[in-house]
Structure 1
């Protein structure tokens, strides 16, 4: 009898601890039930909602539960055991008011942000070939990533690449809130793999009031931080021109955090002769909640990159054979080999009910080797720095306020040597420099809600920068010397207003100042000269826009006028070395418009969703004052900028997991020299990706896909050389090409 009572007691205890929890999942827009939602509960088999949008699970404690569906944004919630919970999922295209961005250190819905901000979501990154971020970013108005050769990128935000013959300059980039741009103003974007990025935000135009130097804008990359389940994943991609990319990753949930690791290898022979790429990237990430008020995260990234540089072609060479390398590139082994190690540490703390702090530190080492047709360059670099911000959310004079105070500091030291190039090997040293760069700024920003509808932002920063160039060897006519360039402290203000028409729309306007000192690669050029007279660019930007929802339509419209003085442009000497000069002033007027909508959405039918997006960029930029070598270029179009471009996207999703992405891009003709005598012709690019992704059982995720780029087989260059000597302007891009891949993931 006692045994029976004991058994009954155990059953009662079990029933009490395993509380039955009911989930009802609804579409946040239509309030209709959503069948087929995958419900992930750590330590249990996954559940799937039925036709009524319901599912039942036995929870023994309050748990973090993840809800995913192909047509909706993934949502994580803390669920109380034993209760019925209604979950509202937002369609993957919904109101702009549902898209939250950080922007100018202000976490608000995009619709109520003062500034031209674009968000690139994870699903947008994976609707193209997964060998780079280029295609996804080029769908956003005002943004253009160029590729002169595989793994050789330039970023142009509102024409900011004018002074970038190669590499990324004049744009500030962050990765997981850590400054990813080096102290000298350059960014090695090509060391990152697509898998090192989950979501991105782009501020277009000057953001110096809170992010320091850079007239182009700011890009903030974020890798995956919130790990909700232990997961093992692997994928392989392949394509024309010998493309092979494979990845393996593991995510492990810990008691108060998570750890994740991934390794990616990508290789390609390249479309052109001497354009092969070999990149390996390893990332290790750790996140933990120290207590209810503190969290800590750390990252280690190691990248081993090698790519060949085919060089630019003349029109005659282009006509003869688009796939050939520039004469001399193969013989001199024109290429880049780079090994980079980055370690970061970030700490977040809720100091009081009103104050919070986020502080980040990083250290970075780089070994760089660059044989080129004209020389052979090596660099060994080390840099470190950090960023801290204090945020106050309070009420002053019965008005809600948000105060942001902080600072950023970066220091870098480089041993840079230039040699002669004898058949691809370093020959006699030409000059050797020890370079030291320092960048620092303090920032302050006040957000004040004058009324529930009117938000004002006042911000400014104080900026300090200097270069030290210690030349120990000079084989030319000059003696070794110490050179220093210290820029005067620069004050950068910004004022912005947002009027909230309603919860789904807003009008914004801003006036912001910007500056961009020359990078050390522009001060110290490859032929050995040191141009300490090169001045920092200064500009002021006027901007107004509207964001809102009209039924199924989301509209984002921005108009701006940017007046830039001391504009830095490039020119090439007779030896083919790129040099830099200040070119007077430029006038930059523009429109950026984005419209997206879902004209068809039928949950449960075979074709569940049809989405479309249109993005128009009108950049009408010109030289206001520019005289050089007896020539007056005033009034000419700004070099390297297409006046008009248009992107059209079509996405189809089915209940079975089939999907189709179609992308069309039109780019207007582009002036390739300051005189506007040479243009790249306009072109249309058409691409598509077809795939199937689904969850098998409760543990396995599978995806198979294939696609085509440049379906129309257009003849074009994705990244031309500007103001090139001897008419070497063209860097031909691939014609029609195909790719595919397989992904597998397992929960454990």
Structure 2
């Protein structure tokens, strides 16, 4: 595979600049995700056009997040990006994998760094409360695929950069919305924005609830966010981000294949030794608060600094079949980034350097679960997680339209664990344990060449490092794992992107190989409690491609019926296999890594008319993939058809109306949107809703 990468890189970088060269396109809105000549990305602090960015970056704009799909969750939009897979085993229970498997995430989001305009959202324990964000308050998402430790610290999956809704300058607006649909779905929201007096403020409240498709799968979620930016002076900008989320969702539990075929709407039934999910009122109660402050200062046209600080708190409760967990997390941290530009040097360059520090203090107690009520205490533990990163990056303009980027970071991760005695007879005295992982240096080097204004190619070599998360060093049944080692690997990647046929055709293709050592995988004990082990090496090879064709582009003449008519495609091909993996007496070397589909294909049609009607159709296909390390159980092939139609128009000078209807699983397939990998008792399946629909309305006023 590495030889293929090198051959492709040589072919691309040695190609004639006339290959696929198209005319310079007419500038279009930044809201158009695939206008490569215009879209500017923030990844790796380049603030350059996507066409000039030497990395695989997926973009989602407000159209992708809040118009293409009616259901207000992040899952369907993220799944349109090649190399990205989001799961929702029950409403509100998110998992996310970027160029990898959800094998490390029985629940939650791990091994991925997330930021909101430089503010870290991922805690020091490596966990991201993705379900604390409401998609209706988001305006843009960038997904950096693959290791990005040179600038964003430890992690082998990728990095996500969130942004809020854009606030127009010198205008104010209010938008109210409501939706309702199948299985008791109901939601409403209000968004207030003002962009006057050198400030931009956005206040958003959103509510969502559903009875759920399965038994024991109801969800209720309330989100409140305040985003503000204030230009204190021509050189200084202060920003604030305040988030609060109150979420409760029930967890129906996994089913065996026989149970799934017989009644996919059922929750996990009782066994001879364990009660059912419904009897134990299994679910998650999660309250998250976050406050971050950002200070940006520009000394001059060449030097600027952004420094952020934040604090967070999480109140978490999880009545499970075998126990009842109560946890409180308190996090704090900061990040500073300084950028210096040398535009007049013999080789123009930009240098970026800084640091990041994260700390999370966790109090975690396990109790018995008596029909949804916390019973006798079983464990009483505290965990302190720390992460620190120092990083530097140089971007240099070379002759012949080449650009070299080289970055390096130093990463520290440590845990302090204390287990206190309980009142149980024979309880042990307090136990103090510590785990400090050896600091690592993570380099990244990339080389990009542009061919005219419309085609570019890049190659990159990057290293990834992912220490066990706090939920992995501390298994769900309690205790502290002192033998679990970090993952570490090297990624080789080449890519080409560009435009052709007068900018109607857009393409983005990347091929990579990621060699990972000490891969972390999940195990379950007889009661279903998870723990984690290292599984030797994995070899991860993949191809990611996006292709879109505008039959009518947003720049079409005003006399045409359509303002947009686009056919787009997303393809992911993977070959992820274990190497040197021994499980007991079984040699699992060369088995496929569970949870990764060898083929994922997503295609869609976007149509918008000048009279206000719009329609979006999306079809997803996943080839079957293994559900356990032994590859003895397989998923079903996945076929999902979704569609949204709507009408949007202005009412007079200041008012706007948007009415829409959306259908999900229109082929009425019985499928699982998220699997429990390596599940004890072969309970892999979590059924997603059958054919369902919803309708909604948005009413706005601007002045």
Q: 1:604 to 1:671 in 2, by over 3 A?
A: same
Q: Is the 8 A contact 2:184 2:212 kept in 1?
A: yes
Query: Alignment partner of 1:670: what SS?
Result: coil
Query: Alignment partner of 2:29: what SS?
Result: strand
1:136 alignment counterpart: 77
Query: Alignment partner of 1:339: what SS?
Result: strand
Matching of residues 79-90 of structure 1 within 5 Å? none
* Cα deviation code 1:698-728 (max 9, x no counterpart): 1011100001011101111011000111110
2:477 alignment counterpart: 527
1:463 alignment counterpart: 411
2:195 alignment counterpart: 253
2:464 alignment counterpart: 514
Q: Does 1:214 align with 2:166?
A: no
* Cα deviation code 1:279-308 (max 9, x no counterpart): 111112222101111111112111111110
Output the CA distance in 2 between the equivalents of 1:449 and 1:548.
Answer: 20
Output the CA distance in 1 between the equivalents of 2:681 and 2:103.
Answer: 19
**From 635, 656, 673, the counterpart of 1:680:** 635
Output the CA distance in 1 between the equivalents of 2:367 and 2:611.
Answer: 60
Q: Is the 8 A contact 1:256 1:288 kept in 2?
A: yes
**From 600, 605, 627, the counterpart of 1:650:** 605
Deviation, 1:351, is: 1.5
Q: Is the 8 A contact 2:565 2:606 kept in 1?
A: yes
Q: 1:299 to 1:353 in 2, by over 3 A?
A: same
1:371 alignment counterpart: 319
Output the CA distance in 2 between the equivalents of 1:225 and 1:439.
Answer: 32
Matching of residues 329-728 of structure 1 within 5 Å? 329-395=277-343, 397-451=345-399, 453-473=401-421, 475=424, 478-551=428-501, 552-601=504-553, 602=556, 603-728=558-683
Output the CA distance in 1 between the equivalents of 2:487 and 2:563.
Answer: 50
Matching of residues 198-213 of structure 1 within 5 Å? 198-213=139-154
2:5 alignment counterpart: none
Q: Is the 8 A contact 2:167 2:194 kept in 1?
A: no
**From 74, 86, 103, the counterpart of 2:43:** 103
Q: Does 1:305 align with 2:261?
A: no
Output the CA distance in 1 between the equivalents of 2:96 and 2:484.
Answer: 22
Q: 1:359 to 1:93 in 2, by over 3 A?
A: closer
Query: Alignment partner of 1:104: what SS?
Result: helix
* Cα deviation code 1:499-533 (max 9, x no counterpart): 11111111100000000000111111122232111
Q: 1:402 to 1:270 in 2, by over 3 A?
A: same
Output the CA distance in 2 between the equivalents of 1:104 and 1:357.
Answer: 15
Matching of residues 147-226 of structure 1 within 5 Å? 147-226=88-167
2:272 alignment counterpart: none
Q: Is the 8 A contact 1:430 1:473 kept in 2?
A: no
* Cα deviation code 1:206-258 (max 9, x no counterpart): 00111011100001111125442110110001111111110012112331213
Output the CA distance in 1 between the equivalents of 2:264 and 2:90.
Answer: 13
* Cα deviation code 1:603-644 (max 9, x no counterpart): 323234310111100011100121011111100111110000
Q: Does 1:275 align with 2:221?
A: no
Deviation, 1:397, is: 4.7
Query: Alignment partner of 1:275: what SS?
Result: coil
Query: Alignment partner of 2:471: what SS?
Result: helix
**From 146, 158, 165, the counterpart of 2:87:** 146
Q: 1:160 to 1:319 in 2, by over 3 A?
A: closer
Q: Is the 8 A contact 1:267 1:277 kept in 2?
A: yes
Moved more, 730-739 or 283-292: 283-292
Moved more, 94-103 or 726-735: 94-103
Q: Is the 8 A contact 1:713 1:735 kept in 2?
A: yes
Output the CA distance in 1 between the equivalents of 2:86 and 2:578.
Answer: 22
Q: Is the 8 A contact 1:97 1:505 kept in 2?
A: no
2:7 alignment counterpart: none
Moved more, 254-263 or 353-362: 254-263
Q: Is the 8 A contact 2:33 2:59 kept in 1?
A: no
- Report the RMSD for the aligned CA atoms in angstroms: 1.6
Q: 1:692 to 1:330 in 2, by over 3 A?
A: same
* Cα deviation code 1:176-212 (max 9, x no counterpart): 3211111100111001111221101001110011101
Output the CA distance in 2 between the equivalents of 1:600 and 1:232.
Answer: 32
User: Any gaps of 5 or more consecutive residues in structure 1?
Assistant: 1-26, 32-71, 76-91
Output the CA distance in 1 between the equivalents of 2:696 and 2:203.
Answer: 21
Q: Is the 8 A contact 2:165 2:202 kept in 1?
A: no
* Cα deviation code 1:241-278 (max 9, x no counterpart): 11111001211233121322121111100110010111
Which of the two has higher C-alpha Rg?
A: 1
Deviation, 1:665, is: 0.6
Q: Is the 8 A contact 1:95 1:504 kept in 2?
A: no
1:79 alignment counterpart: none
Query: Alignment partner of 2:45: what SS?
Result: coil
Output the CA distance in 1 between the equivalents of 2:82 and 2:420.
Answer: 47
Output the CA distance in 2 between the equivalents of 1:94 and 1:416.
Answer: 45
Q: Does 1:262 align with 2:204?
A: yes
Query: Alignment partner of 1:645: what SS?
Result: strand
User: Any gaps of 5 or more consecutive residues in structure 2?
Assistant: 1-22, 270-275
* Cα deviation code 1:449-476 (max 9, x no counterpart): 1125010011000001110111112558
1:119 alignment counterpart: 59
Q: 1:209 to 1:74 in 2, by over 3 A?
A: closer
- Relative contact order, higher structure (CA 8 A, sep 6+): 2
Q: 1:222 to 1:94 in 2, by over 3 A?
A: closer
Output the CA distance in 1 between the equivalents of 2:563 and 2:136.
Answer: 28
Deviation, 1:571, is: 1.3
Aligned length: 666
Deviation, 1:428, is: 0.8
**From 175, 192, 198, the counterpart of 1:233:** 175
Q: What TM-score results when the alignment is normalised by the length of structure 2?
A: 0.93
